């Protein structure tokens, strides 16, 4: 599929930031991972001698978005969790090590990144300190968003190395992650606002930084809901566009607010009202360059993962987690492909009780999480009246 989304006319390039989302759409909607695997191969092959990847590949024009190299590590981790091909992932760990070595060369003594080269694109937003999609940087050249993205990359790499790589690398990345976590807390946390700032100077704030803080485990469980409510309702924060809402909405779900997911689709509803049949590149529809950008198609994931609650709970999708967020729905059902079959779920509210039916593939156990309670799921048919 020429060349795996982005958009069918305007660019036709598999930018890593875009393609990470598009690959998950493939996993949840078709179960066919050939294009995702091909994209990961090409991105790995695109690495420059210094370790960083191209922003997109193949292309005849050299362009480097250094932050996209970190999303590549996330995309590889996604593949490991959703597809039963650990040997493929293990073969990519050398490239992950080279990418992290590139970023390590720009880390200060405290672990914070300083003056990372190339285009550090995050999201097409405007706001204090934002320029050409890059997040604000402090006087020392550091950025909370870059530090958080690197923290996530170290966490993903630790998980993969511990199972598929070497103990030494796993331990090294874990130590680097712990150092960075402490530095982010000290450097960017603002007590007055109860949020993480964009820079050490703490004079600007955005949804992006705080969404990644949730996903990276920077927010204690007891504070998650209050923290998430701030992200959702504080309009003084620089807002995510349709692309980065992929991360924002996952963070809000982790904060315990997932029952509101169907109320978070404002930009998608605006696209529909304008008569679009695909999603625009930018939330600012007046200036959007492309009226068909697949990086905005994350609801094609979240209707399954968030609303119906179907997700992987072990590498290779060997275990399943079902944690629905139905909001005001009283009847919802769906099916997704799984490496060894299908996962089917159905939720019907009848006479004050939920009739829940879950079908899991052969040799694939799981758990249902319903209103904070955990229920074991066996392969085959499972029925609950709760």
Domain range annotation of the chain: 16-307, 322-385
Distance (Å, whole) CA 262 – CA 270: 14
Distance (Å, whole) CA 200 – CA 145: 11
Distance (Å, whole) CA 105 – CA 245: 30
Angle at 300 between CA 298 and CA 302, to 5 degrees: 70
16-307 is classed in which CATH architecture? Alpha/alpha barrel (1.50)
In which order are the strands placed within the sheet that holds 341-350? 331-338, 341-350, 353-360, 380-385
Which are the contacts of 169, defined by CB distance < 8 A and separation ≥ 6?
Answer: 93, 97, 157, 161
What's the pLDDT score for residue 113? 98
pTM score, two decimals?
0.96
What's the pLDDT score for residue 266? 93
Output helix, strand, coil percentages for the chain, rounded to the nearest 5. Answer: 45, 15, 40
Q: Which residue carries 């029925």 as its tokens?
A: 383
Count how many residues are written for the chain: 386
What's the pLDDT score for residue 282? 82
Distance (Å, whole) CA 198 – CA 219: 16
322-385 is classed in which CATH architecture? Sandwich (2.60)
Beta bridge pairs of residue 131: 134
In tens, the pLDDT along 248-300 reads 999 999 999 999 999 999 999 999 998 888 888 886 766 667 888 889 999 99
Retrieve residue 77's tokens. Answer: 């981790």
**Mean pLDDT for each 10-residue chunk of the chain (386 residues)?**
69 90 95 95 96 93 96 98 97 98 97 96 92 94 97 98 98 98 98 97 97 98 97 96 96 98 95 89 73 90 98 98 97 98 97 96 97 96 96
Q: What's the longest Cα–Cα distance across the chain?
A: 64
What's the pLDDT score for residue 287? 65
């Amino acid at each position: 599929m020429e060349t795996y989304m982005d958009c069918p006319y305007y660019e036709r390039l598999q930018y890593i930031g875009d393609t990470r989302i598009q690959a998950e759409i493939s996993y949840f909607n078709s179960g066919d991972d050939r294009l995702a695997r091909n994209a990961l191969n090409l991105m790995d092959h695109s690495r420059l001698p210094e370790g960083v990847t191209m922003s997109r590949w193949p292309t005849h024009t050299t362009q480097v978005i250094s932050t996209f190299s970190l999303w590549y590590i996330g995309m590889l981790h996604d593949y490991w969790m959703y597809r039963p091909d650990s040997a493929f992932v293990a073969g990519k760990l050398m490239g992950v090590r080279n990418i992290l070595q590139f970023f390590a060369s720009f880390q200060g003594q405290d672990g914070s990144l300083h003056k990372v080269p190339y285009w550090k694109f995050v999201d097409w937003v405007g706001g204090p300190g934002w320029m050409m999609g890059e997040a604000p940087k402090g006087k020392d050249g550091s950025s909370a968003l870059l530090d958080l993205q690197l923290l996530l990359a170290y966490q993903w790499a630790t998980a993969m190395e511990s199972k598929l790589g070497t103990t030494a690398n796993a331990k090294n990345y874990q130590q680097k992650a712990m150092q960075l976590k402490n530095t982010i807390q000290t450097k960017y946390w603002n007590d007055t606002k109860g949020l993480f700032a964009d820079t050490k100077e703490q004079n600007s704030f955005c949804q992006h930084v705080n969404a990644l803080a949730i996903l990276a485990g920077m927010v204690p469980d007891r504070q998650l809901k209050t923290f998430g409510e701030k992200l959702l309702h504080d309009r003084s924060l620089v807002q995510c566009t349709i692309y980065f809402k992929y991360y924002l909405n996952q963070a809000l779900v982790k904060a315990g607010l997932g029952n509101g997911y169907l109320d978070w689709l404002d930009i998608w509803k605006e696209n529909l009202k304008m008569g679009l049949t695909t999603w625009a590149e930018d939330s600012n529809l007046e200036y959007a360059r492309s009226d068909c950008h697949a990086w905005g198609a994350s609801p094609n994931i979240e209707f399954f993962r968030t609303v119906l609650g179907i997700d992987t709970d072990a590498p290779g999708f060997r275990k399943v987690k079902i944690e629905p967020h139905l909001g005001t729905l009283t009847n919802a059902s769906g099916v997704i492909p799984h490496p060894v079959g299908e996962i089917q779920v159905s939720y019907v509210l009848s006479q004050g009780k939920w009739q829940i039916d879950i079908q899991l593939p052969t040799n694939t156990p799981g758990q249902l999480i319903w209103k904070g309670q955990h229920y074991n799921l066996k392969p085959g048919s499972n029925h609950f009246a709760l």
